[in-house]
Structure 1
Amino acid sequence: MVATFDIQNLPPWRRAVLKIGSSLLTGVDGELSDRHARGLAAFVAASRASGRDVVLVSSGAVAAGRTRVPQDARRAGGLVLRQALAALGQTRMVGLWQSLLDVPVAQVLLSHDDLRNRRRYLNARNTLLELLRLRCVPVVNENDTVAVEELKLGDNDNLAAIVAALVDADLLLIASDVDGLYSAHPRLDPAARPIGRVAAVTPEVLAMAGGAGSALGTGGMRTKLEAATKAAKAGIATALFNGTDAAAVASLADGQLRGTLVEAPASRLAARKYWLRHAPGSGGCLRVDAGAARAVLDGASLLPGGIVGVDGEFARGDLVEVLAVGEAGARVVARGLCQYAAGEVRRLAGRHTREIEAILGFSYGDTVIRRDDLVAFEEANA
């Protein structure tokens, strides 16, 4: 008999990414099914009712599309067929979630280029954050319709880890049809024991998941641990649980996990602030007045009205330094990711946020640097 997982407390969280595997959304006939999705949707609703945000990364589009074409048409086509099936199934998969949730559901398709290109990365981030502000539930998937093999993000487990970092999540939840990580394959080794907590994903831990060709390899437990490793680097813990277990799903709403928790070495905020503080910058600088410097040091976003000058050239999304200008000279008070390019900031300097669109003909938002994309140097108060 396979040993079961003990209940443990989830870490505190305000925003989570929930990844749902395709096996949880399809029935034995391959058609979309809400059998397991209902419980997951109830968890999303309960989380939102308590003031938390949940972003879904949902598989199932290709499976949903497969049942819409004749059997003989599925035998050939390779990647092109997969792209067509994804296009056929996306609306059905999103429609399933909309039928289970009483709030607007928004589809967001991401590609490799969206996350590699800094400007498009920021666009995706801003869209997702705005959807959450509007109290919608984003449903994210890879844009399989246009992805080519060499530029695919890969499996949705790793996509979920990327999205978790993208939206500053505190927790990554991965639902599949297995209970969690075992010390060995539980169906093949009677001595396999459940691993309730993983401090770090080491080669020894990866070996427990099996090789790429095993039943728990590609698309299985190994990719989930790889995703947890990515999330941990962003300061995000990962919870692995069985989405077919109604009791395990229901316990999530009470802050309890029956599965495996992969810890993060530091908090999400600490990890992000550390990166902003130490990552290579663009060489660009924004000079600000004393009022803007105080606001930034107090945790506010940087608005265009407090900017008095721009040094150097940089693109949207580049890391720049914020310099407070005073009688004693200039001193660095913060670093952050700039929402606008250097030339655009020069045109906005000293102006009110309501003038942005009139000046530029477009707007990426009211802030030049969002407070979540900024780290202030407290020692600048000295």
Structure 2
Amino acid sequence: MPPPVASAFAEQPVPPWRRAVLKVGSSLLAADGGGGLTPRFALGLAQFVSANLQQGREVVIVSSGAVAAGRAILPRRVEADAALAARQALAALGQAQLIGLWQRFFERPVAQVLLTHDDLRNRRRYLNARATLNELLALGALPVVNENDTVSVDELKLGDNDNLAAIVAALVDADVLFIATDIDGLYTADPRRDPGAQPLNTVSELTEAVLAMAGGSGSTVGTGGMRTKLEAARRAGAAGIDTVLFNGRDGEVVRALAQGRLFGTRLHAGRTRLAARKYWLRNAPLAEGAIRVDAGAASALLGKGASLLPGGITAVNGGFRRGDMVEVHAPDGQPIAKGVSQYAAGDIARIAGRHTRDIHTVLGFHYGHSVIHRDDLVLL
């Protein structure tokens, strides 16, 4: 029998997953009194990650805490509401300490990945970020993602690592987004102010009424709150990814989570990842131009769910760029599919009809063997 857990939330199974994103906020990493970072709660979360890595699962950590770490380094104190430039300087100072904190818990290499929302809005940079994260996971590294606060404009002020975690979850095709917070989960009201607040074990749909239950930030070191966590869950849900909220300060809850037992709130996506991905692909705007393929490639796309390789391409027109959404045409010119192109039109023209092994020789670089990967393609 597993040990009992003292929690207001009922036990439920963790949704099945092979790849997950774990978001850890500043309130779980910052020492009391502005003293930098502490391993007090991070250790338990690292053990949760390690237990799952040993089972063959993959984890990406999205971690706050750089500003809190930097605040302990400066000889003079910078207040939490300081000017943006001062807080960006704190983030620059604290990044090394933040990565060092996580690295101490793992024998495998920890890789720092700094992103801004602008990186993820731009399709070409989005594809580059996705390729880098997937390669790091394939190499057995543990990616630790944070906002690139030193160059961001609004993101640091907003303290929006919750939504960044949701974006990263969609970026790496995660099965679930875990958000470690400093309360047990979602309640009908803020339990720190309303003793009558009731725990919500599951949320099937994130309506405005549910969002209204969220209070503000409960921490002096983090600028997010339950509202941003629910907004992140909504964003993840749009990509078909469930979100789990749990108390990262409660060692029993974290240990139970490593055993597949959740004491917290599960927010259901409402649609599958595949359905969400295909919906986006079907409705994303097209760039001007198209790729024409031969009969063999058309048959492979339509009948076998294959990726589009350069060998099956006969022609390309338009001036689209890497990351643009383009149509794929059959030999007779009829559109049969659309997808995100890994290469610009000019580059595709140079590798059309060639074997995948020739891509690097011809172009001097390559972004993978597929011109359009099957995960980025939908049939018309």
TM-score normalized by the length of structure 1: 0.91
How much does 1:135 deviate? 1.7
* 1:273 and 2:278 matched: yes
Unaligned 5+ runs, structure 2 = 1-5
Q: 1:314 to 1:93 in 2, by over 3 A?
A: same
The CA deviation string for residues 147-184 of structure 1, in whole angstroms up to 9 with x for no partner, is: 12379774110110111111111111100111101111
The residue number in structure 1 matching 2:314 is 308
Q: Where in structure 2 are the equivalents of 1:2-13 lying within 5 Å? A: 4-13=8-17
The residue number in structure 2 matching 1:172 is 177
Q: 1:367 to 1:342 in 2, by over 3 A?
A: same
Q: Distance in 1 between matches of 2:299 and 2:61?
A: 38
Out of 354, 359, 374, which is 1:371 matched to? Answer: 374
The CA deviation string for residues 94-119 of structure 1, in whole angstroms up to 9 with x for no partner, is: 11111101211110101232122221
- Report the secondary structure of 1:375's partner residue: strand
How much does 1:300 deviate? 2.7
The residue number in structure 2 matching 1:127 is 132
Out of 10, 14, 20, which is 2:18 matched to? Answer: 14
* 1:233 and 2:210 matched: no
* 1:188 and 2:193 matched: yes
* 1:259 and 2:264 matched: yes
- Report the secondary structure of 1:100's partner residue: coil
Out of 128, 136, 145, which is 1:140 matched to? Answer: 145
The CA deviation string for residues 351-382 of structure 1, in whole angstroms up to 9 with x for no partner, is: 122222222222222211122212245xxxxx
Q: 1:41 to 1:296 in 2, by over 3 A?
A: farther
Judge conservation of contact 2:27–2:219 (CA < 8 Å) in 1.
no
Out of 36, 41, 52, which is 1:47 matched to? Answer: 52
Q: Distance in 2 between matches of 1:128 and 1:187?
A: 38
Matched to 1:9, the amino acid is P
Q: Which moved more, 1:228-237 or 1:329-338?
A: 329-338
Q: Which moved more, 1:25-34 or 1:113-122?
A: 25-34
The residue number in structure 1 matching 2:361 is 358
Judge conservation of contact 2:36–2:73 (CA < 8 Å) in 1.
no
Q: 1:139 to 1:374 in 2, by over 3 A?
A: same
Report the number of matched residues: 372
The CA deviation string for residues 303-337 of structure 1, in whole angstroms up to 9 with x for no partner, is: 11111111333111111122232xxx344332210
Judge conservation of contact 1:104–1:137 (CA < 8 Å) in 2.
yes
Q: Where in structure 2 are the equivalents of 1:260-339 lying within 5 Å? A: 260-297=265-302, 298-325=304-331, 329-339=332-342
Q: Which moved more, 1:133-142 or 1:316-325?
A: 316-325
The residue number in structure 1 matching 2:27 is 23
The residue number in structure 1 matching 2:112 is 107
The residue number in structure 2 matching 1:380 is none
- Report the secondary structure of 1:173's partner residue: strand
Matched to 2:376, the amino acid is D
Matched to 2:26, the amino acid is S
Judge conservation of contact 1:125–1:166 (CA < 8 Å) in 2.
yes
Q: Distance in 2 between matches of 1:363 and 1:98?
A: 31
Give the alignment's Cα RMSD to 1 decimal: 2.3
- Report the secondary structure of 2:32's partner residue: coil
The residue number in structure 1 matching 2:351 is 348
The residue number in structure 2 matching 1:36 is 41
Judge conservation of contact 2:117–2:164 (CA < 8 Å) in 1.
no
TM-score normalized by the length of structure 2: 0.91
Judge conservation of contact 1:74–1:81 (CA < 8 Å) in 2.
no
Q: Distance in 2 between matches of 1:242 and 1:213?
A: 15
Structure 1 stretches (4+) deviating beyond 4 angstroms? Answer: 72-77, 150-154, 212-218
Q: Which moved more, 1:315-324 or 1:256-265?
A: 315-324
Q: Which moved more, 1:76-85 or 1:167-176?
A: 76-85
Q: Distance in 2 between matches of 1:272 and 1:232?
A: 11
Judge conservation of contact 2:149–2:156 (CA < 8 Å) in 1.
no
The CA deviation string for residues 65-103 of structure 1, in whole angstroms up to 9 with x for no partner, is: 110112346599511111111111101111111110121
Q: Distance in 2 between matches of 1:289 and 1:225?
A: 47
Percentage of identical aligned residues: 63
Matched to 1:234, the amino acid is A
How much does 1:230 deviate? 0.8
Q: Which moved more, 1:66-75 or 1:366-375?
A: 66-75
Q: 1:220 to 1:77 in 2, by over 3 A?
A: closer
Q: Distance in 2 between matches of 1:347 and 1:365?
A: 15
- Report the secondary structure of 1:310's partner residue: strand
Q: 1:137 to 1:287 in 2, by over 3 A?
A: same
The residue number in structure 2 matching 1:71 is 76
Unaligned 5+ runs, structure 1 = 378-382
